[in-house]
Structure 1
């Protein structure tokens, strides 16, 4: 790894809950363990510190400096919301610039999002370096049917990738997608399985049965995470109904239309339990650790899945759509089977067979090993800023 001693790093994640802030926190903790790193700040919104719990490294500090999200309000407020969001974006650029300047020349800025495309504004010191972490090389939606807002965001993402000093992504599938745009500034890594984040104590002593209407997850299959169109939840419901496999679906819908559609499908099946809500981090982990089978019925997916990584870490039994990115990420993991989501009968038969063979999570009491984060930290820290 190249670089000077007493390196100062700031990881920026504007999402204060969920998988993205968890990744950002684990990345910050991994960076802090690297030789020569003096401190690593994690910049996010109010609520991030409480969500993450204690980060057990004095060199890592959470700064809740970005403004709170704007919520929907009156008709007038909603009408003005796009303009206010642009103002917020400018404000956040300036906040990051101020903190970057305070860190001094040679500081490194790691962006967990592409929503800050004006790198020259973020880089307060001429020797500062900006690294962009791209989690999704392709959008989860069809770009041909994208809204104006989504098209603007795609434009910002493309500009961010072209102007960052280095771009890091996960998996060979995404690397192939980005290489033409990013060139030799691209670094590809695998999504780590381990996590240095401590488990939240508020739910640690509670039984899973008290957290869910699904009284015994050890006898059920589980779809978990944000419920959006590319996740194929409708396919899982149909397959579970056909195969007579009890299935719990837990996560928050991405909109009212999705929520209503899934509620209707779940109500029509005796095998489906739908919990359309946000799960706290500890609750999310307990669901994963308790289900007999984890189901990933994705329709299209080119990234690396945080849910797949967590499931592999607890040695869960997994059934997934036969997609190249998921196969690439799973590698030689032994307890996973795949089926073609475009073949309803075959997918249902595959689910039935996987559920029959599933043994559930079998996490061993083994020494903690976080070495899978080392390559990610090195990819982020390595190299120098390009000279213009």
Structure 2
């Protein structure tokens, strides 16, 4: 793997965001498949110094050393500001690869769509890693990527502009989700507003629906199920939704209906959401943010709706059946395992 390509690795980017130099060196060597000796050659350090840094015996505080590391490891410039000062993320500049394409856009009015695709792939890796790495560490990285995307948009039009608007919306709703997880609900709603606006500008019904679904979830978790149900029904409204997008919106509506005591409606919606999920195409053909919606998740959603309806036996059976396939998602596994144990005790 090339030096620049190594920086698509999520664990490496998260280590850089934390300014954890021991982890940066270890994760870079893992991603690039190189030795301490080779890493030392890249950053102009003897191998014993690299070893001392990785073991925590030597600290990095010099701006000159940090600059040498950035050059030697070809750190993307959108990450440069992260390590220098997390409070100045708005001041960072795009990476050399992105800058070249931005310059092309300023000249011709057409940004290379490969830029959007590349950032989209990196965001997809962040989504998959969040359950293990945690959103807090990845927050400055994703925020930097969003800044890059929004700087690209003014020089584009047509399908390329729409692609970038959707990508910006994906970043914004991810930031909203992480903010909400850390109790910052004002910023979480503000990020959702941005995401919804960008999705609407791009004419992307699936993303618009997903954002409304997330808003419904926030209302439900904050004790307002009636508002959550109205919002979820709005998320289900566009007639052009993909089966995957319609499934998650319908599942959220089922959860809200159960919370307001409409068990028959909740059961009907839960069954509909399950059938829609089973009709969803393979991951590469689903919306990027719904990569996780496979038959296992469909079964867990159905069981979760049963739990919300206090149908403890159905819930326990569903959780028990699906949980073994969720080992790669420790936080979600812990959530559903707790549900299973509670349902078992109530049967």
**What is the TM-score with the length of structure 2 in the denominator?**
0.29
- Bigger proportion of residues as helix: 2
Normalized per residue, the structure richer in strand is: 1
Structure ranking higher on relative contact order (CA contacts 8 Å, 6+ apart) = 1
